[in-house]
Chain A
Amino acid sequence: MKQLVETVCKALVDNPDEVKVTQIDGEQTTILELRVNQSDLGKVIGKQGRTARAVRTILAAAGMKQRRRFNLEIIENLEDRERK
């Protein structure tokens, strides 16, 4: 699933090299932490969070097939924001 999030997000952003996904596996849940360049944050989230919701919907469907829960967390780098 890490690869899926990476593929979609790299296609969405202006700085694909800075897309980083960390996968944390739990017993029933997998958390996918997504980090992108501060300027690409809006692109990943989308208007009223539509893009992020669409990615989460895809993950939920994959979870139904694999009988696992996938949580997508978009991590904002606070240092970058403060610098801005």
Chain B
Amino acid sequence: MNDKKEFSSHSLKNAILEAANAFNTGEDNIKYEIITGKTKYFGHKEREIYIKAWTSDGGERKILSDFIEKIIKLLKFDLCFDIIEKKGFLKIDFKGDDYKLLLYKNGNLLNAIQYLLNRLFSDKIEKKMYCECEQFRRKREQELSTLANRYAREVMDKEKPINLEELNPFERRIVHLTINKYPDLESKSEGDGFLKIITIKKVNG
């Protein structure tokens, strides 16, 4: 899907620059492999360097946005999205009137779309993708750490273990990190599926 073209120049830097101009993108978005390196004939005549180059970012985004657009259209959802690059991640931020459907049941649909996108494009796109909508993940993080703190106090008061509902790995991590702050308490994940239950209990309790 990513077009590969050959470029040659007297230096690698210039070859990449040429590729960037041809693809109409920045040098950072160019990926390349060297076909023939720079060699010298008889000590003076230099051969040019040949590279095969393709765009990494523009192409990736196009594939991704085309696919998401198609899915939204087929679902007849009133949604739009932005793809933002963030520290090695591609953040897909959804907006629109149907955002509540995405966030229904603790972001079930948002997580399903995120999983499918990563599953489908992991070989074409190097970066991991994560889906966001109305700052759902940040709010969920706060909500879970508040809940974990509340349960932690309850366990210390009543000295009885408490089970949390089934959580995904991202959510479990937040609970474990919160409980780790209490030296008297420990948290354990139980179950063997993708979703697991967390038990909070007193150490040696």
Q: A residues touching B (Cβ–Cβ < 8 Å)?
A: 1, 3-4, 7-8, 11-12, 46, 48, 50-51, 53-55, 57-58, 61-62, 64-66
Closest to A46 in B: B119
CB atoms of B104 and A4 under 8 A apart: no
Q: B residues touching A (Cβ–Cβ < 8 Å)?
A: 67, 70-71, 74-77, 98, 101-102, 104, 108-109, 111-113, 115-116, 119-120, 193-194
Query: Which among A12, A48, A62 is the interface contact of B75 at CB below 8 angstroms?
Result: A62
CB atoms of A62 and B119 under 8 A apart: no
Tell me whether A7 and B74 are in contact in the complex, defined as CB-CB below 8 angstroms, given that A61-B101, A61-B104, A64-B101 are known contacts. Answer: yes
Closest CB in chain B relative to A59 CB, distance in Å = 9
CB atoms of B67 and A58 under 8 A apart: no
CB atoms of A57 and B75 under 8 A apart: no
CB atoms of A54 and B77 under 8 A apart: no
Q: How far is the CA of A48 from the CA of B113 in the complex (A)?
A: 17
Q: How far is the CA of A44 from the CA of B71 in the complex (A)?
A: 17
Tell me whether A4 and B74 are in contact in the complex, defined as CB-CB below 8 angstroms, given that A48-B193, A61-B104, A64-B101 are known contacts. Answer: yes
- Find chain A residues with CB under 8 A from B77 CB: 61-62, 65
